[in-house]
Structure 1
Amino acid sequence: MATRRHVLAGLLASSLPRLSWADAGSPTFVAAARDATNAFALHGLSAEGAPLFAIPLPARGHAAAAHPLRPEVVAFARRPGAYALVIGCASGTVLARLTPPEGRQFNGHGAFSQDGSRLYTSEVVAETSEGRVGLWDTRGYLRIGEFASGGIGPHELRRLPGSELLVVANGGIRTDPEDRSKLNLDAMRPNLSYLAPEGELLEQVELEPEYAQNSIRHLALAEDGTVAFAMQWEGDPADPVPLLGLHRRGSPARLCPPAETEAYAMKGYAGSIAIDAAGERLALTSPRGSVVQLFAGDGTPLATHPRQDACGVAAAAGGGFIVTDGGGAVSHLTDAGMRPLQTTAAAWDNHLVRIA
């Protein structure tokens, strides 16, 4: 039953002016980075990659989830992490600090419900790497439950466009909770799991046995329901394997190899993935290979562009992609190639998150 204090707090909150993303400078992207003093921060960037704000983080960040209505971002620690900070981007303050339950670890990613009332977090049971999805009520960022992710070692999770269904990239790797050494490379079973908002497993897709060591890590979603996924190969490095896959519910997954001459360019490691607004282009980055590969929306390879330590990628407002790298550059990628936009002192981390 609501207490008088809770009622008064609710009335006060409803009477306050509601902040919007315009109050935070109307950022198009957010990304974590390390500066020249080795301090970490969450940055807001304009559509052209210009810096708008920088809010300190206690340690290295990984990805973030942007609230669909309020100028709030949940910044996740580099996996496996023990913090997730709710940051008010208009005020530049930490509004809440989320801590996983005992024996759990955050795994670097999260997603909001359509109305922003819930936050879903990617987590593992530390001792076994069994996947969990944490549920949080965003009115006070209180934990209200959890459910199984559908596999081992979940990484990115996303909400399907126009629905409340979740898709989870279960990477399939069991790791040591102390040193992150990989314990089950001979028995990996990565999968995509589609989950109802209360946790019911609706559909699950595994890779063919020959690709069982291709860990599914990151996701990009098209408006028509296509899920593009990026992988990291844990098998023999002499074996070139596709690192891009496509899936539609009710169909088998389809892997999309690059051009034969570029089979080794990414060195078995895709760091991030994005799809453009029209659903006509996909970008796959590899900081290990220092390249960005472009594909058509159907998975046809188009080009490979060199970019040192490139990893963050997101759809650009006017077409193409924005790419960030560990050297501080922000670039615009199109079919014509890579065009520098900004040079900063920030060593950009793994992901560039588009604010919808």
Structure 2
Amino acid sequence: MLWTAIDRRSLLVGGGAALAALAFGHRPGRAGEPVPSEDPLFAAARRGADGRHSIVVTGLDGTDRQVIPLPGRGHDIAVCPASGRCLAFARRPGTFAVLFDAAGTRPPVVFEAVPGRHFYGHGAFSPDGRLAYATENDYLGNRGVIGVYDVSGTRPQRVGEFWSGGIGPHDILPLPDGRSLVVANGGIETHPDTGRRKLNLETMCPNVTVIDRDSGTVRGVADLPPGLHKLSLRHMAVTGAGKVWIGAQYEGGLEETPPLMASLDLEDGRLRLHDVPDALRGRLANYVGSLAMSRDSEVVAASCPRAGLVLYFSARDGAFLSSQQRADACGLAELDRDGFLISDGQGGLSESGDRAGAPTLLASLAGTSWDNHMVAIDPA
């Protein structure tokens, strides 16, 4: 493992600002004017009953507040805490992204990745909302890059890029210091000519990298043990104190059941693995689809859609807390102090409740399918 020394105090400065709840409190009125919203709002990619894809802003009742058509399947949405603008990305190896206003007061803007790059489906904003960062594939150079976009104007402009610290960068999140980004490099080589085929499973090398967002300098790289090189690190959540949680997807055989959750302590740069009880381990299909942190930073939720399970862990020490069953559940968003909204591939929205029994179904739209991720736009 290589870990560049990081000043922990600087990482924790302003932690509440960079990772604070994103409250905007507006939705379009009858005449297009924003009006106060009393309900929390959420956004996700969705496939409609007609097979078309879109980004949907919705409430807990499942009512569409805003629908933005997409040219193809979407993946995740980054939300800017400063401006309320959102950036949605195509699912890999798609090349489109959409910048839109959560309040619906400005028309959405669709733009494309530059030649030789495609998006991996995730992005993040700078604290002031002027810049956005997208995980991208430099498929000719076989390396991951972070594309940098100026989104302060009416149309995003690509202004640069820097190395992601590995191959196959997937998720990217800001850290509480306001100047660092953390990237989960899945380690998998792909090329758009071969679609979603994975080209280097025997030699893949996943890692988690911390990068200075201003200079592009890699500040730290944390690697898995060699025996777990097929454990692709994919999705993340960050506590208010800056501890990083990572969910993985194992590219080995299903008869192997390695831990699928890891955490990174920025003080020592070590990746620690966290497992589930024996009775659950063989049921997870070696796949974590999404992560979310509770608003109080006490609980991290991980969805396993292939198993129809949502897992809950202590964000402090990684202890397994409980699980809930919901078919094809994948999208997760913070709901209240320690609760979560769960979306699924059957058009359902559910509330985690006390996480002891089954989640409570709040709404369901027949024939539709929520995609992998859901984000809170206006948490309660």
Relative to the length of structure 2, the TM-score reads: 0.84
Count of residue correspondences: 337
Contact 2:68–2:108 at 8 Å: present in 1 too? Answer: no
1:68 has 2:70 as partner: no
**Quick one: distance in 2 between partners of 1:182 and 1:135?**
26
In structure 2, what residue type is equivalent to 1:325? D
Specify which of 22, 35, 51 is matched with residue 64 of structure 2.
Answer: 51
Contact 2:206–2:223 at 8 Å: present in 1 too? Answer: yes
| Aligned residue number for residue 256 of structure 1 | 274
Query: Cα deviation per residue 1:275-321 (whole Å; 9 max; x = unaligned)?
Result: 11112211111111111111122211122222111100111124311
**Quick one: distance in 1 between partners of 2:115 and 2:75?**
21
Contact 2:294–2:337 at 8 Å: present in 1 too? Answer: no
In structure 1, what residue type is equivalent to 2:96? Y
User: Which structure is higher in RCO with an 8 Å CA cutoff and minimum separation 6?
Assistant: 2
Q: How does 1:177-196 map to 2 (within 5 A)?
A: 177-178=192-193, 179-196=195-212
| Aligned residue number for residue 41 of structure 1 | 54
Specify which of 295, 301, 309 is matched with residue 328 of structure 2.
Answer: 309
**Quick one: distance in 2 between partners of 1:196 and 1:89?**
28
Percent identity reads 37
| Aligned residue number for residue 21 of structure 2 | none
| Aligned residue number for residue 168 of structure 2 | 153
Query: Cα deviation per residue 1:91-131 (whole Å; 9 max; x = unaligned)?
Result: 47644322222111111000001110100011011235410
| Aligned residue number for residue 4 of structure 1 | none
Contact 1:55–1:93 at 8 Å: present in 2 too? Answer: no
| Aligned residue number for residue 225 of structure 2 | 208
**Where in structure 2 are there 5+ consecutive unaligned residues?**
1-23, 29-34
Q: How does 1:318-337 map to 2 (within 5 A)?
A: 318-333=337-352, 334-337=354-357
In structure 1, what residue type is equivalent to 2:281? A
| Aligned residue number for residue 16 of structure 1 | none
| Aligned residue number for residue 142 of structure 1 | 157
| Aligned residue number for residue 263 of structure 2 | 246
Once the two structures are TM-superposed, the CA of residue 49 in structure 1 deviates from its matched residue by 5.1
| Corresponding residue SS for 1:342 | strand
**Where in structure 1 are there 5+ consecutive unaligned residues?**
1-19
| Aligned residue number for residue 10 of structure 1 | none
Cα–Cα, structure 1 residues 266 and 315, in superposed 2: closer, same or farther, change >3 Å? same
| Aligned residue number for residue 289 of structure 2 | 271
**Quick one: distance in 2 between partners of 1:92 and 1:214?**
42
| Corresponding residue SS for 2:192 | coil
| Aligned residue number for residue 376 of structure 2 | 354
Relative to the length of structure 1, the TM-score reads: 0.90
Contact 1:124–1:154 at 8 Å: present in 2 too? Answer: yes
**Quick one: distance in 2 between partners of 1:222 and 1:50?**
30
Query: Cα deviation per residue 1:46-90 (whole Å; 9 max; x = unaligned)?
Result: 356543222211211100112223342211111111100112343
**Quick one: distance in 2 between partners of 1:193 and 1:327?**
35
Specify which of 13, 20, 26 is matched with residue 22 of structure 1.
Answer: 26
| Aligned residue number for residue 361 of structure 2 | 340
User: Which stretch of the first structure deviates more once superposed, 57-66 or 186-195?
Assistant: 57-66
Contact 1:47–1:316 at 8 Å: present in 2 too? Answer: no
| Corresponding residue SS for 2:227 | helix
| Corresponding residue SS for 1:235 | coil
